Amino acid sequence: MRQSLFTGPEVKNKHSIELELPKRVADLIDKHCATRSPWLCTPESPWLFPARQSQGSMDPNTLSRSIFRMIRKSIGLDVNAHLFRHLAAMLYLQARPGEYEAVRRLLGHTQLSRTLNFYAGFEAGTATRLFADVIDEERLK
């Protein structure tokens, strides 16, 4: 695990987030930084998505538009970068129904009510299946 800190200006709601990245994720990030094109930036650049020909990071709007265009060109769907947050929450809740506090922390929401308003119900199908599994297990006892 590698400790990472994202400070206010780097975070959507301006509240710093500190988290541990699993080794496999940290390794993917290190590989990306080591193998990205030299015309993007110098090898020492600390930015995951550097601006071309400069010392800073890529503008978030430019990055978002690039992701949108690439996905549209590749698969014909209009997907914006913000949808990845929703996808992360949906996948997590489908695997672990009811764990809204974990989703709140993952997304950096300051209030659990915000997370509940957006994501309550995403895991309803999984919760129903898990409940059916519990009933089946009880019946077999």
Residues with Cβ within 8 Å of 13's Cβ and at least 6 positions away in sequence, in order, are 108, 109, 110
Question: pTM for the full model?
Answer: 0.69
Share of the chain above pLDDT 90, in %: 38
pLDDT of residue 54: 66
51 or 14, greater pLDDT: 51
pLDDT of residue 137: 92
Is residue 78 over pLDDT 90?
Answer: yes
Q: Which amino acid is at 39?
A: W
Q: Are 7 and 16 in contact (CB under 8 A)?
A: yes
Lowest model confidence (mean pLDDT) among 12-26, 56-70, 96-110: 12-26
Q: Mean pLDDT over residues 26-53, rounded? A: 81
What is the per-residue DSSP string for the chain? -EEEEE-GGGSTTS--EEEEEPHHHHHHHHHHHHHS-TTT--TT---SSBPTTSSSBPPHHHHHHHHHHHHHHHHS----TTHHHHHHHHHHHHHSTT-HHHHHHHHT-S-HHHHHHHHTTTTHHHHHHHHHHHHHHHHT-
Closest to 53 in 3D by CA, of 37, 66, 41, 35: 41
Share of the chain above pLDDT 70, in %: 94
